[in-house]
Structures are given as C-alpha cells and as structure tokens.
Amino acid sequence: MIPQVGVRLHEANVFCTASVGRVYLIRYRRPTTVAIERQILADYELHRAAVAGHCLNLASFEHPPMPLPSVEVRAFWRASMRAGSGVDAVAAVFGGVLGASAAAVTNLLEHLLDPAFGIRYRVFTNVACAMEWFEEFGIGATHAEVDAQLAALARLP
C-alpha cells in the first residue's frame, strides 16, 4: 500500500490539501495566487516523494471559475509542469460549471498542459466522477480511504 500523507489545512477559508494513495487533492476556497501555488507545490513535492513516482492531481474549486487565474499563476503552473512534475493526470472540479465557463476552464487546461507534457486532463462537476476517472490510472488506495480523505478535507474551513 502507498503511504498516506494526510489532510493539511494551510490557510483557513483559502485552501487545503490532502493525499490518498497516488492522488494529491487541492481544495481551493477562493482564487489562488502565486504565493499560494508555491506552498501547494512544496506540499505536492512531499506527496510525490512519499509515493515515489507519478501522481494524479485533483483540484476542487469552490469559487466561480471566472475570472480565470492571473497570468502569473498560469505561468507558474505551466513552468511547474514543464519542469517534470510527475503528474500523470489532472482533474479539475467546478460544481455547476456549464457553457462558457466550462469552455474557458477546459481551454485553460489545454494551454497549461501542453500535449508534449503527456498529462491527461478533464473537467468535472463533482469529485466522485473525477475519482472514477482516476481509477483507470490506479489510485493506490481503497474507495474507503479515498472517501475518508475527501470527507476530512470537506470538513476543513
């Protein structure tokens, strides 16, 4: 079994992270900044070291997708991916995202995750569907472990 890193509250009502198996989860409560992304990257690197390999990243956004993240944040994300992030797949979860917002989010991921990086990605409206998609990559945890981590993450402010 892959080691579990656990749930971490970084900034109340801003963001928190969790790990379960190969999956690294980020819960965004409000729009992100480069400073926040630096914290997330440092935490992600601990997760990546713990699983000794490639990871699946799930980002759950609990704020409206518009406006999209700043150019600086997008540049940080892209540079992180280009540097060899060890990410096999990215699932972005936006509850109730439809129409133009969904198209904008999908376009953003297409821009960030250049096909040359070999990272698959999809946009979902709920975490359960994203986790189902991740199963094809091998999560490295049981459904009970995943549910427990997601529940713990959801309880954080």
pLDDT digits (tens, 9 = 90+) for 8-36: 767 788 888 988 899 999 999 889 999 99
Beta partners for 24?
19, 57
Cβ neighbours, 10 Å, residue 52:
9
Would you place residue 98 in the very low, low, confident or very high pLDDT band (cuts 50, 70, 90)?
low
CB hemisphere CA count around 155 (13 angstroms):
8
What residue segments make up the domains of the chain, in order of their start? 6-155
Would you place residue 104 in the very low, low, confident or very high pLDDT band (cuts 50, 70, 90)?
confident
Would you place residue 3 in the very low, low, confident or very high pLDDT band (cuts 50, 70, 90)?
very low
pTM value is 0.86
Pick the CATH number of 6-155 from 3.90.190, 1.10.10, 1.10.3470, 3.90.550: 3.90.190
CA angle centred on 14, ends 11 and 16, rounded to 5°: 65
Q: How far apart are CA 33 and CA 81, in angstroms?
A: 17
